Amino acid sequence: MSNPFEAVWNTLKTTIDNTNEPKSPLNIIEAGDCWMYLTMVEEFIRYEEIGLNTTTDDEIREMLTDVIRICESQVRRLSDFMKQEGIPLPDATSAKPNSDSNQIPLGVKLTDDEIANGIAFKLVNCMLTCAKSQADALRHDIGMLWVQFHSEWVSFGTTLKVLMRKRGWLKVPPYYYPPGSPQQT
């Protein structure tokens, strides 16, 4: 089955490619959004590496491998775009070396619940930043890049939510019952 957003993406791209809009330089907000997002996603990868060094759970390891693949793909595409536009790249934190999760003391070691919720929190931040950056974009090419990144996060978030619900790690706020409505127990 193909990516559910692929058809929408292809339609949007075709529509925008046919607008014959002149290519203007990026404005300062567009450039700053690129720089900030690239920094965020590179730091996200470091957290994922820490998770891989911490967990022994096969499903968590698979989820972390998937999200690292998404992040690395986005870093590569955004870095290439930034280089083409002459935007300096931010300094990246060095990759975490592989370690034996059994050697990490329990008080220091992230639990699988903490790893999954940390990924969920970072995922939400990436999605919000993509949406904000897309709204800031005046040029269609960078706007479409943000839409593409956002759709990748939506797709990944769906599988993450299924895993978190299955394991009982999904943080659910208390239910709200408006005054006068029948109470559910």
pTM of the model: 0.84
pLDDT digits (tens, 9 = 90+) for 16-69: 555 677 788 999 999 999 999 999 999 999 999 999 999 999 999 999 999 999
The total of structural domains in the chain comes to 1
Residues 6+ apart with CB under 8 A from 177: 183, 184
What is the span of the domain harbouring residue 73?
Answer: 27-79+109-171
Asked, for residue 5, whether it belongs to a domain, the answer is: no
Asked, for residue 16, whether it belongs to a domain, the answer is: no
Asked, for residue 8, whether it belongs to a domain, the answer is: no
CATH code at 51? 1.20.1260.10
Asked, for residue 181, whether it belongs to a domain, the answer is: no
Average pLDDT over residues 73-85: 98
Asked, for residue 13, whether it belongs to a domain, the answer is: no
Three-state SS annotation for the chain: CCCCCHHHHHHHHHHHHCCCCCCCCCCHHHHHHHHHHHHHHHHHHHHHHHHHHHCCCHHHHHHHHHHHHHHHHHHHHHHHHHHHHCCCCCCCCCCCCCCCHHHCCCCCCCCHHHHHHHHHHHHHHHHHHHHHHHHHCCCHHHHHHHHHHHHHHHHHHHHHHHHHHHHCCCCCCCCCCCCCCCCCC
Asked, for residue 88, whether it belongs to a domain, the answer is: no
Asked, for residue 179, whether it belongs to a domain, the answer is: no
More confident residue, 167 or 102: 167
Average pLDDT over residues 133-152: 96
**% residues pLDDT > 70 (the chain):** 88
Asked, for residue 183, whether it belongs to a domain, the answer is: no
